[in-house]
Amino acid sequence: MFSENSPVTDPVHIFRHFLKTKGLRNTPQRQRIMEVFFNEDGHLTTEEVYDRVHREDPSLGQATVYRTMKLLCEAGLAREVRFGDGLARYEHAGDAHHDHLICESCGRNIEVVDPQIEALQDALARRHGFKPTFHRLYLYGVCPDCQKNR
């Protein structure tokens, strides 16, 4: 078993190795973008990452953030998620599996984990002889706050 700080599970080590295998440099800008992304929780757009990094380094461009987020996805460190509002958001790929409840009114996103849903999905797959490799569940509706304001 690897410890939390093992190079095998360390995102910095993984990203450096990934960039090296692709023949790309690990620039200070890429490093800072990765740090900002991993120091935040939730689902960030490239614009949100850009805003946070740009405050510290005004010379950094949005294209650099966009390309770096794509590289983090290719490296298996980030995962792109879309909630139907036309924006790509990114979450940490190492996060435990979860599903999403998304408010169609305010855009609020609630991450949920429900063992019963997981069991039902597994049973459904077995019943059809299907071997699942991946799934996403997004439930759209109206959150309690928005229901009060209707």
Q: What does the pLDDT look like over 108-133, one tens digit per residue?
A: 888 787 888 888 888 999 999 998 87
pTM across the whole model: 0.66
Ramachandran angles phi, psi of 74, nearest 5°: -60, -35
CATH class of the structural domain 99-148: alpha beta
CB 87, CB 66: distance < 8 Å: no
CA 28 to chain centre: 22
Q: From 1.50.10.150, 1.10.760.10, 1.10.10.10, 2.60.120.10, which CATH number describes the 11-92 domain?
A: 1.10.10.10
pLDDT at 82 over 90: no
Domain boundaries, the chain: 11-92, 99-148
Q: Is pLDDT above 80 for 3?
A: no
Cα atoms in the Cβ-side hemisphere of radius 13 Å centred on 48: 15
Cα-to-chain-centroid distance, residue 133: 18
pLDDT at 96: 63
Res. 73 pLDDT band, cuts 50 70 90: very high
The answer to whether 49 touches 33, Cβ cutoff 8 Å, is yes
3-state secondary structure at position 149: coil
pLDDT at residue 40 in the model: 85
Q: Is 142 exposed, middle or buried (0-12, 13-18, 19+ CB in 10 A)?
A: middle
